[in-house]
Structure 1
Amino acid sequence: MSLGTFPTKADANVALVSAAADAQRGAFVPPDRGRVELRTYANEWLEHHPTLSTGTRDLYRFVLDKHVLPHLGDAHLGDIEPATVEQWFATLGRTTTTLQRAKAYRLLRTILNHAVKNSRVIRNPCMIDGGGKESSPERPVATIPQVFALAAQFRERLTAIVPVTAFGALRVGEAAGLQRADIDPLGNRIHIRRKVKRAHDRRLLVEDPKSDSKRTVTLPPQVMGLLEAHLDAWTDTAPDAWVFTRPHGTPVDHMYIGRLWRKARSAVADDDPTLRAKLHFHDLRGTGATLAASQGASLKEVMARLGHSTTVAALRYQHATADRDATIAHLLGQAIDQAAGATVTDLGAASQRSGKR
């Protein structure tokens, strides 16, 4: 085994002594173990990772191909030094957003941690303090009248997705993944059992949500009324029929909803300039959490409603707080009546008039 070549005998002796010391404390990695390109190692890591969902795998593929491998892919693992990572990180700072740079850094750090565990390198060169920290600005929150004003601007077959997402505090993929069997009108409940997303290559992916995101959410009765009108007008009767669809029957996704949302926001902003602050569709989820908290929901109750908890704790807590969740929904319903009662009635009537029977 060779430690490599050195410019002087003194340099070679220093390397030999260092290698001997590393070997004695169990930290020595033969140099040839690091003679594999990051591109090869990262691709194998991604291909054979045992627990990644299809969506996460697709996201990592995108981040690798766009932000990591074009800069570092040809480098051997053993040649990637902290200075190499710092230079790459600085380059990303000039070419992409802070959020995307943080995601790329975390992914590179994870892959190189795997290389350390597999004795490919001695230590992880990703040593930038706060390099993986996302610094996102505080997102805006919609008012109750704004939620229903925005809903009124959506296509009639998708009007209900706005209040369902907001008052259920759903992710867009969770709302898109709802099927008829997930709706319990008698209990004003919806069951979050799957999510739908559009991959970077435009494939439509249907996945189970993370186990701690599977949950049951109680909707205010007014919102369930809108959802029932939507089911009667626009949803097939099969239990596995998608609740929110495009005109040809496939489920919606964040890209499709995003286009409708931007048009709706622009239309409403003419009368409500506060919406020009770039309220995103995903901000409806934060709106729902904020409104629930404003009705007295505890931190744990808000977390359970959002699906933010560990697997065991979420299941145990949901059983214990089902009655409390219904109370939160009832209080939200009272707030809707006070802020937008007539608008809700108009939306439900419009959906029934316009839909199929």
Structure 2
Amino acid sequence: MPNNRGSKRAFGSIRKLPSGRFQARYLGPDGRQYAAKRSNGDPLTFDTKGDAEGWLSLRHSEVLRGEWLPAPKPTVTFAAYAGSWLAARELAPRTRELYRRLLTNHIEPRFGTVALGAITKSDVRAWHAGLTCGRTAKSHAYQLLRTICGTAVVDDLIPSNPCQIRGAGSTKRARKVTVATATEVATLAAAMPSRFRLMVLLAAYAGPRFGEMAELRRGDIDATNGVLRIRRGVVRVTGARLVKGPKSDAGVRDVVIPPHVMPAVRAHLSEHTQPGRDGLLFPAASGVQLNESTFRRHWYAARTKASRPDLRFHDLRHTANMAAAAAGADLPTLMARMGHSSTGAALVYLHTAAEQDRAVAERMSELATGTANVVPIKSKRRRKSG
């Protein structure tokens, strides 16, 4: 039987292949393994062990004389590498769609045909300065380019990451959210078609996201105990509906619905929900999950009636979280209602509630010390029964 084990040598190793030919390889000064290859890059094997030893001796002498050069790295375009990078990652469908869109619309038009190793820092700065998309898309495009190039560094395809623009990958909230008041929420709900009114109330007092509400089923509502069970959400990916679980385990949650919303819940279950436990709570006219674009048309009209043209529907989630914090929810409770696994977002609401509580306390002191302008409340006299 042929001996397939590599022979021990001071420099390199030789292996006899099942075909009877010999393969030679060695560890280069750069720490990489090199096997004998032809000039076109195809593997090179030898008729005899002596021929393989001769090839290794030539390579060893090149190393000793300082004439050894590493094999040139294969030239790969950014588009080719980005494609393989994207294919190798486990991503949520909408994230994959976002990355593909960023590559197609913003990154590959400039770098797609460029060799990965030829992209320079100045190229990236010029590209970033010339992007005409919105602030968020610009930041996301830069983040994606930086991440892909970072992986290329790890893969030893480029020596360093050319994405070195300080702060280019950070996103700041472009608008300040002013939460809706209870009166505004009531006005918004009343202005919506009856089949959508509960969506407004649940968003403002229980805080589910639109995609979570669009996938709610009759069985997800415990009308006896007033509990909303959030287990799934629906998203649109390349025009198709995709039902999936929440982003994290914390997204699977039970949210207690405030009692004053429960009459609307029961009325909606009776009048607008599809029959059976799996019946959609907020079905579209066609019977499938509601599209956000359909809902948005009515929402725009309602927020105009409420004199809140600035209010996005997602802002009602902030309203719900702020109300829960103001009502005394502690950090774990607030995180559970929000469906968040990290404390960062919940602490924002708790901090804001604490500031409001301080303002209330200061106002109480002003009233107690007589330094505030107090408008007396006129009490109604009881009529004496005749």
Residue 82 of structure 1: CA displacement? 1.6
Aligned equivalents of 1:29 and 1:219: distance in 2? 67
1:282 deviates by: 0.7
Change (3 A) 1:282 1:122: same
* TM-score normalised according to structure 2 size: 0.67
| Residue from 116, 123, 127 that aligns with 1:84 | 123
1:32 to 49, 69, 73: 73
Query: Is the 2:76–2:116 contact (alpha carbons within 8 Å) kept by the matching residues of 1?
Result: yes
Alpha-carbon separation, structure 1, partners of 2:70 and 2:156: 6
What letter corresponds to residue 43 of structure 1 in structure 2? G
Tell me which residue corresponds to 1:12: none
Letter of the 2:335 counterpart: M
* Mapping of residues 52-201 of structure 1, within 5 Å: 52-92=91-131, 95-136=132-173, 137-199=175-237, 201=238
Q: Which runs of 5+ in 1 are unaligned?
A: 1-19, 270-274, 314-357
CA contact (8 A) 1:189 1:218 kept: yes
What residue identity is the alignment partner of 2:194? E
Shift, 1:25, TM fit: 11
Q: Which runs of 5+ in 2 are unaligned?
A: 1-27, 34-68, 344-386
Q: Give 1:247's aligned amino acid.
A: A
Could you tell me which amino acid in structure 2 is paired with residue 299 of structure 1? L
> Residue 39 of structure 1 contacts residue 74 of structure 1 at CA under 8 Å; is this kept in 2?
yes
SS of residue matched to 2:255 = strand
Quote the Cα distance in structure 1 between the aligned partners of 2:32 and 2:79: 30
Q: Percent identity?
A: 37
Query: Structure 1-normalised TM-score?
Result: 0.72
| 1:45 matches 2:45 | no
Local SS of the residue matching 2:243: strand
- Assess, with a 3 A threshold, how the Cα gap between structure 1 residues 29 and 228 changes in structure 2: closer, same or farther: farther
- Deviations 1:274-300 (CA, angstroms, capped at 9, x unpaired): x13x11011011111111111111233
Structure 1 residues 84 and 57, CA gap change in structure 2 (3 angstroms): same
Query: Closer, same or farther in 2 for the Cα pair 1:30/1:80, shift >3 Å?
Result: farther
Conservation of the 8 A alpha-carbon contact between 1:197 and 1:253: no
Q: Residues of 2 paired with 1:308 and 1:126: CA distance?
A: 31
* Deviation string, structure 1 residues 52-88 (Cα, Å, up to 9, x no partner): 1112211222222222222222222111122121111
Query: Cα offset for 1:30?
Result: 6.4
d(CA) in 2 for partners of 1:224 and 1:41? Answer: 54
Query: In the aligned structure 1, how far is the partner of 2:112 from the partner of 2:70?
Result: 21
Q: Is the 8 A contact 1:31 1:78 kept in 2?
A: no
Q: Structure 1's 297 and 73: CA in aligned 2 closer, same or farther, altered over 3 A? A: same
**How far apart, in 1, do the equivalents of 2:123 and 2:301 lie?**
44
Residue 217 of structure 1 aligns to a residue in which SS? strand
Residue aligning to 2:294? 256
Query: Cα–Cα, structure 1 residues 24 and 140, in superposed 2: closer, same or farther, change >3 Å?
Result: same
The answer (yes or no) to whether the contact 1:182–1:191 under 8 Å persists in 2 is yes
Return closer, same or farther for 1:31/1:172 CA change in 2, 3 Å cut-off.
farther
Q: Secondary structure at the match of 1:139?
A: coil
- For 2:42, the equivalent position in structure 1 comes to none
- How far residue 257 of structure 1 moved from its aligned partner, in angstroms, is 2.4
**Structure 1 residue 31 displacement after superposition:** 5.2
For 2:242, what is the secondary structure of its paired residue? strand
- Pick 1 or 2: higher relative contact order, CA cutoff 8 A, min separation 6: 1
1:224: Cα distance to partner? 2.8
SS of the aligned residue for 2:73 comes to: helix
Shift, 1:192, TM fit: 1.3
The structure number with the bigger radius of gyration is 2
Aligned to 2:7: none
Q: Give the letter aligned to residue 66 of structure 1.
A: N
Answer whether contact 1:172 1:253 (CA < 8 A) is retained.
no
Quote the Cα distance in structure 1 between the aligned partners of 2:293 and 2:101.
16
Query: Normalized per residue, which structure has more helix?
Result: 1
8 A contact 1:183–1:189 mirrored in 2: yes
